[in-house]
């Protein structure tokens, strides 16, 4: 059974600063922290008691030191930009790098590392904002980003937006790891995952897209029918080797706000809807035991599933991918919803 809120993984230290609790005590409850504008815990009522279904850190200090992006709002650019190299029109920008010479999730000082400002909060919603100065991590333009979390009886809605003072690239998302059996309960291998995608973008040895948009037929990325995650990641396929599992951008069918994926385990299920053109499916392959979770257990490989609605990775260097340039006067917008079924909802 999940620990009560006042006796969770922070019981040995001071209360977590900048934490907002949304929802009802006996219903769906979302905990959002200002650091990284992130999801700290998501507690659902079940027949066996309240259950936290997302991974997270015990303390703010551990979150600041962490590198797994638990629950965070990702920016300026979700996923990878190859070689930390960005060209916009006649100008070239060198970005800070943090993974194999690439810029991952905005670089080593990405939005996940920042203290966001709470703009407004109610019992069911919170809005946080961040101003990223011109030249931040090498990106041009001053960007103002906002994220709003809103909870309902069985749903969490996330709305992300950004504006800029100069042409730049922006792709914001949320990086929560899900485990419907409960945070710290072990592997998600037994979860059934389906993604409504006929295509994916293959990667090279540095996990950068090759530029091809390939059919999922005959690959581990054919998740159009519900598939055990453990079966998918253990298939013999060369695309699984660089990432030690699935860490790939799938291309959900359709456009606009639509259901793009579902995941289920025993008594709980979640559907994911988004208006993003891509969906990064990451099976927690690089969780290595260095993070101690909110419930006091360490996270190891495969202990969580991240599904990150996004623009295609490395789009700034791939003219064949959809354009991701944000210009003054425009507003970047992204919507994500998690809708739960089962338990005691």
Among residues 57, 175, 191, 248, which one is catalytic? 175
Cα–Cα dist 31/176, whole Å: 12
Q: Residues 322, 249: contact at Cβ < 8 Å? A: no
Q: How many CA atoms within 13 Å lie on the side-chain side of 313?
A: 31
Stated as kind and residue range, the H or E segment containing 119 is strand 117-121
Region for residue 68 given its phi and psi (left: phi exceeds 0; alpha: psi -120 to 50; beta: otherwise): alpha
Q: Give the three-class secondary structure for 6.
A: helix
Among residues 31, 34, 183, 308, which one is catalytic? 308
Q: Residues 276, 310: contact at Cβ < 8 Å? A: yes
5 a catalytic residue: no
Q: How many CA atoms within 13 Å lie on the side-chain side of 98?
A: 15
Positive or negative, the Cα torsion across 315, 317, 323, 329? positive
175 a catalytic residue: yes
* Active site residues per annotation: 175, 308
């Amino acid at each position: 059974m999940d620990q009560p809120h006042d006796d969770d993984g922070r019981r040995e230290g001071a209360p977590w600063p900048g934490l907002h609790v949304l929802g009802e005590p006996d219903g769906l409850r979302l905990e959002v922290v200002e650091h990284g504008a992130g999801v700290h815990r998501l507690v659902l009522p079940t027949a066996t008691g309240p259950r936290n279904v997302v991974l997270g850190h015990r303390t703010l200090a551990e979150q600041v030191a962490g590198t797994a992006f638990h629950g965070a709002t990702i920016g300026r650019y979700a996923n990878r930009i190859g070689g930390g190299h960005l060209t916009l029109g006649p100008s070239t920008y060198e970005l800070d790098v943090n993974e194999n010479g690439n810029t991952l999730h905005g670089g080593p000082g990405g939005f996940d590392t920042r203290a966001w400002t709470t703009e407004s909060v109610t019992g069911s919603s919170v809005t946080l904002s961040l101003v990223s100065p011109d030249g931040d991590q090498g990106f041009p333009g001053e960007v103002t980003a906002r994220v709003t979390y809103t909870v309902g009886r069985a749903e969490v809605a996330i709305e992300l937006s950004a504006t800029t003072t100069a042409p730049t690239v922006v792709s914001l998302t949320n990086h929560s790891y899900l485990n419907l059996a409960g945070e710290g309960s072990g592997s998600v291998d037994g979860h059934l995952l389906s993604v409504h995608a006929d295509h994916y973008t293959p990667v090279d040895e540095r996990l950068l897209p090759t530029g091809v948009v390939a059919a999922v037929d005959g690959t581990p990325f054919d998740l159009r029918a519900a598939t055990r995650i453990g079966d998918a990641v253990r298939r013999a396929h060369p695309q699984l080797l660089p990432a030690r599992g699935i860490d790939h951008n799938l291309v959900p069918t359709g456009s606009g706000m639509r259901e793009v994926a579902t995941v289920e385990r025993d008594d709980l299920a979640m559907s994911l809807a988004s208006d993003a053109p891509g969906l990064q499916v990451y099976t927690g392959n690089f969780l290595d035991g260095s993070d101690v979770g909110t419930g006091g257990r360490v996270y190891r490989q495969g202990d969580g599933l991240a599904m990150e609605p996004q623009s295609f990775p490395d789009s700034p260097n791939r003219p064949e991918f959809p354009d991701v340039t944000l210009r003054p006067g425009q507003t970047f917008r992204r919507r994500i919803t998690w809708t739960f079924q089962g338990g005691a909802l």
